[in-house]
C-alpha cells in the first residue's frame, strides 16, 4: 500500500510531455524531445543542428557539422510537492557520411512526498527521481532511407529502486529538394520504450514500460526552407484501451537565419496541450526555449537549452 501511494504521487506530479503519463510508469521516457521539436508539439524537423538524440537521431547524418552537443532544463510550477525539474544532455558524432553515434543522459526529480509506514505513520519524506544513460547509433541506407537505435540503462527510485533496460528503434524516409516550392519531405516511424519490466526491489510491484509506436511526417516550404510544418500520431500500448491515440501537429517559421518561432498542438484523451517555442541561432550556437501549456496549470513546463555544433 505504501508503494502504491508513492507511485500515485509520481503519476500525479512527475508527468511527461503528454498527460497520458497519468496512467503510465517512468514519465521520464516521455520527455525527450529536443527543444526545436518540443516547440512544435513533437513534430520532427527534417534538418537540425541540434543533438536530436531523443527526437530525430537521423538528422545527425544531414548537414555539414559532424559534432553536436545539447543541454536543456525543464521546470514545472512550484507545488506542495516542490518543483519538478527535468535535465537532458546529449552529444552526437557523425563518423562519416553514412553513420553516427550518440551518448545521452536524462534526469527527472525535485519532488518531495511524505513516507508513510505500514502502520500509517509518517516517517519523514522521500525524494523520488529517475535517471537514465543512453547509447545510440544511426545509419544511412542509400540516399533516402535511414535508421536508428537506442538502448539505455534507467534507474527509478521512490523509496525502493527499479533497474530497467530500455530500447527504441526507428526508420526515416527523406526526399530532399524535390520541387521548387516544397523543399524537403520526411516520413518517420518508430517503436519506443520497450525492454525489461519495471520491478521495484522488495515491493513485488512490476509494471510494463510505456511502449508506444510513433508515425510522423514533416515538410519544408518557401525559399530557403524557411517554413516547416508537420503532424504525427502516437499509439500507446499501455493504459486504457479507449485512450491510446495521441495526435500532434505544429510548425516553425524562420525569420532570416537567426530567429525561429514555433508552435504546435497535441490532442490527447488526457488533456490537450498547446506548445510554443523560440530559437536564436548564430554560427553553430543555438539558444532555445519551449513552453507547454496544459489544461491544468501544475502540468505546464518551461524548457530552456543550449546547442553547440562543430
Confidence of residue 179 (pLDDT cuts 50, 70, 90): low
Lowest mean pLDDT among 113-122, 193-202, 245-254: 113-122
The domain locations on the chain are 2-309
CA-nearest of 228, 310, 210 to 10 is 210
The x, y and z cell numbers of residue 56, run together, are 530525430
pLDDT at position 17 = 43
* Distance separating alpha carbons of residues 213 and 266, to the nearest angstrom: 16
| Enclosing H/E stretch for 37 | helix 35-39
Beta bridge partners of 156: 130, 162
pLDDT at position 19 = 39
What's the CATH fold of domain 2-309?
Porin (2.40.160)
* 262, 251 Cβ separation under 8 angstroms: yes
The x, y and z cell numbers of residue 88, run together, are 537532458
Q: What is the mean pLDDT of residues 220-240?
A: 88
* Distance separating alpha carbons of residues 235 and 214, to the nearest angstrom: 7
Q: What average pLDDT is seen over the chain?
A: 87
The most confident of 56-60, 87-91, 198-202, 238-242, by mean pLDDT: 87-91
Beta-carbon count within 10 A of 225 CB:
17
For 115-171, how does the pLDDT look when each residue is reduced to its tens digit (9 = 90+)? 777 777 777 788 899 999 999 999 999 989 999 999 999 999 988 899 999 999 999
Helix (H, G, I), strand (E, B) or coil at 27: helix
pLDDT at position 201 = 80
Q: What is the mean pLDDT of residues 5-13?
A: 39
Amino acid at each position: 500500500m505504501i508503494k502504491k501511494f508513492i507511485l500515485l504521487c509520481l503519476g500525479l506530479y512527475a508527468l511527461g510531455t503528454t498527460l497520458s503519463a497519468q496512467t503510465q510508469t517512468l514519465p521520464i521516457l516521455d520527455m525527450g524531445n529536443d527543444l526545436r521539436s518540443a516547440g512544435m508539439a513533437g513534430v520532427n524537423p527534417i534538418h537540425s543542428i541540434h543533438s536530436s538524440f531523443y527526437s530525430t537521431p537521423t538528422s545527425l547524418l544531414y548537414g555539414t557539422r559532424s559534432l553536436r552537443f545539447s543541454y536543456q532544463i525543464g521546470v514545472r510550477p512550484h507545488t506542495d510537492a516542490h518543483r519538478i525539474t527535468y535535465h537532458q544532455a546529449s552529444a552526437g558524432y557523425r563518423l562519416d557520411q553514412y553513420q553516427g553515434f550518440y551518448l545521452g543522459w536524462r534526469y527527472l526529480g525535485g519532488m518531495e512526498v511524505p513516507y508513510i509506514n505500514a502502520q500509517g505513520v509518517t516517517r519523514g519524506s522521500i525524494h523520488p527521481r529517475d535517471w537514465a544513460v543512453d547509447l545510440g547509433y544511426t545509419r544511412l541506407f542509400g540516399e533516402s532511407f535511414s535508421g536508428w537505435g537506442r538502448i539505455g540503462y534507467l534507474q527509478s527510485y521512490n523509496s525502493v529502486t527499479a533497474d530497467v533496460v530500455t530500447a527504441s528503434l526507428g526508420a526515416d524516409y527523406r526526399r530532399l529538394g524535390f520541387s521548387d516550392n516544397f523543399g524537403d519531405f520526411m516520413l518517420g516511424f518508430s517503436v519506443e520504450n520497450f525492454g525489461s519490466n519495471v520491478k521495484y526491489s522488495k515491493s513485488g510491484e512490476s509494471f510494463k514500460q510505456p511502449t508506444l509506436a510513433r508515425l510522423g511526417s514533416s515538410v519544408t516550404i518557401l525559399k530557403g526552407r524557411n517554413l516547416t510544418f508537420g503532424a504525427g500520431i502516437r499509439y500507446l500500448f499501455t493504459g486504457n484501451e479507449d485512450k491510446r491515440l495521441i495526435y500532434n501537429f505544429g510548425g516553425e517559421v524562420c525569420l532570416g537565419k537567426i530567429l525561429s518561432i514555433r508552435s504546435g498542438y497535441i490532442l490527447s484523451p488526457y488533456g490537450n496541450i498547446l506548445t510554443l517555442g523560440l530559437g536564436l541561432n548564430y554560427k553553430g550556437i543555438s539558444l532555445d526555449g519551449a513552453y507547454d501549456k496544459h489544461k491544468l496549470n501544475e502540468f505546464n513546463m518551461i524548457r530552456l537549452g543550449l546547442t553547440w555544433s562543430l
